[in-house]
Every structure is written in C-alpha cells, then in structure tokens.
Amino acid sequence: MADFRVDQAAGLRRLLGGGHQLQVVTFVAGCEGVGRSVAVANIGVALARLGKEVLIIDEHAPGDDIASTFGLIARNDLLNVVQREVPLSQVLLQPMHGLRVLPAARAVKKLGRLSLHQQQTLLDAMSGLERPVDVILVDASTAHPHGFSPFGVAAQEAVVVLSGSSASITEAYSLIKKVSHAFSRRHFRILVNKVRSQPDARSIFDNIAQVAAQRGIARLDYAGAIPLDDSLRQAAQLCRPVLIQAPDSAAAAAFRDIASDMLYWQRSESEAGGVEQFMQQLLHLSQRITPNVLRA
C-alpha cells in the first residue's frame, strides 16, 4: 500500500480515487443501552428500501449484534476471511434485498496488527463484493482497545447516539471530547434516542452542542430523534426491525426521516471512492496513527 504521510487525521480520512462515491457513517455511543444497534439496523432497512446497496459492518460479538436484530446467527467473522479460512461470501449475511451485514467483532480488534499479506487478503476480498456498495453503516463497539473504533476515525461521518438520560448525555459528551483531542475529529452528528418529544430532543442537542462549541471541542449537527415507542420493544422481542414489524409506528417514521436526510449530508469531492479505497484508508489509519489511548 502507498506510504502516506501521517500528520492530520482529517487528511487521512480522504478516500482515494474512483468515480463511485461511497458514503460511510459510523455510529458510536458513550455507553451501552442507548439503542445504537437498533438504530443502525433500522436505518439500514430504510436506506435499502430507498434503493441503496447498504453494507452494515458490525463490531459486536454474536448475541449482541446486528444479526440478532434480524433473527439471524453470525457463524463467521471478517477475521476468518483475513486468515483465509472462509471466503467473504460465507461471512456476509443478507437479511433483505439491498442490505448485507458483515460481522467484524474479532477483525476490528486486530486491524492495527495485520501483516501486509493479511491486509492484501482483506482488500482483495472487499474489492470482490458481487454488488457495489452505496452506503456503509458501522455499528461501532465501545470496547475497542483504543477506546474508539478505527472506523470512527476513517469514516466521513461519526454519529453519536445518546438517550435522554443524564448519564447517557454525560458519557456522550465525554466521548466527543476525548475523540476530538486524541484523533483530531472536529465534527460529529447527534442522534437522540428514546425521547418523549421532538422539543425534548432538540433541547438535549442544543445543550450539548452549545457546550462543545463554547469549549472549542467540536461542531455538532443534529441527525434526528427517535421517540419512545412501545413498537420498538415489541419488534425487538420478535427479532425484527421496527420498520418491518410496525412500519406505521412513530419510531419507523423517524428512522425513515433520518435515512432520507442522510443521503443529503454534504460530502466533499475528495471523499469519492469505493469500498476497496475506504478499506485501504482504514488499514492505513489503523497501522500508522498512534493516538493517546482514551481512558474512561
């Protein structure tokens, strides 16, 4: 791979070459229990229904992963592909047309330690996807060794999911502050989940955005809000996204709105490229950036 200069994380996030513009959005959270995975699954469904080819990269172990949201079982991991144990086709799951899920809990923890041969194996596998990908959604784990997923550094967009609880808001702000200092990311979007009303969500966002701006930490944009909705609980019990189980519910409507808005998030021309280019960038960042380790 090319030996790029490592001095600015923002510069390293540029995707190289290619005419196909890929949108990459990583969803992160300061703590568990805010509904991040459910949000990613439902936004993926909504985007697929809008005609997009969506790939969800999941950093969570089986049982607490995106696959289980669809009632599926992930039997392999992207690491099995890197180690030449199985082809990528045996790792990918396809819960519906236009939506594929790539379990990567084990692989993401080893990205910074892959040999050149393993890196090339990964790039070859990802470039061999049968269909082009329009959008990559990453369901990032909070348990990465550096405290923040490398996908969150490499992605064009990082969406911080929080709920209306004071603990969730505090942890989300703490994560933004640490990532801003350690990885030079100065822009995040905020998705407020489990709120009683849109005004409540806006108030939560306005408060955290004002503090982040006043202290020069980051610029925050509003990604949307998901209301408290019993349909979400019922859908989870049936291992189905609420967009499939209860398409007329308030939560389903909110997820559709967010997915539609995402397609219009501003992207620079320098971020044009396909999956292989993004994976190359990701590997480069994982291997070369040496940030301060984030501590709780």
| pLDDT of 6 | 33
pLDDT of residue 10: 37
Measured CA distances, 45 to 150, 171, 209, 244, 277 (Å) = 24, 28, 29, 8, 25
Mean pLDDT of 153-172: 92
Residue 208 reports pLDDT greater than 80: yes
pLDDT, tens only, 236-280: 999 999 999 999 999 999 999 999 999 999 765 545 568 888 888
| Structural domain contains residue 97 | yes
pLDDT for 109 equals 87
Q: Give the tens place of pLDDT for each residue, 62-86.
A: 888 899 999 999 999 999 999 999 9
CATH code (residue 34): 3.40.50.300
The Cα 71–Cα 266 span in angstroms is 34
Lowest mean pLDDT among 7-21, 123-137, 203-217: 7-21
Highest mean pLDDT among 47-51, 123-127, 153-157: 47-51
pLDDT value at residue 273: 67
User: Is the pLDDT confidence value at 145 over 70?
Assistant: no
> Is the model's pLDDT at 54 over the cut of 50?
yes
Structure confidence at residue 15 (pLDDT): 34
pTM to 2 decimals?
A: 0.89
pLDDT given for residue 290 in this prediction: 57
**Is there a domain that residue 84 lies in?**
yes
Domain for residue 187, yes or no? Answer: yes
**Where residue 7 falls among pLDDT bands split at 50, 70, 90?**
very low
In this structure, is residue 80 part of a structural domain?
Answer: yes
221 contacts 187 by C-beta, under 8 angstroms = yes
**Position 13 in a domain:** no
- Tell me whether residue 259 is in a domain: yes
CA-wise closest residue to 95 among 129, 61, 72, 64: 72
Mean pLDDT across 159-179: 93
Q: Is residue 3 part of a domain?
A: no
- Provide the pLDDT for residue 287: 75
The parent domain of residue 88 ranges over 27-283
The pLDDT tens digits for 175-195 are 999 999 888 899 999 999 999
Look at residue 149 and give its three-state secondary structure.
coil
Number of domains in the chain: 1
> What are the φ/ψ torsions at residue 230 (nearest 5 degrees)?
-65, -20
**Domain membership flag for residue 76:** yes
In the chain, where do the E strands start and end?
A: 23-28, 54-58, 93-96, 99-103, 135-139, 157-163, 187-195, 219-227
Q: What does each C-alpha distance from 211 to 174, 217, 287 come to in angstroms?
A: 11, 8, 33
Distance (Å, rounded) from C-alpha 201 to C-alpha 194?
9
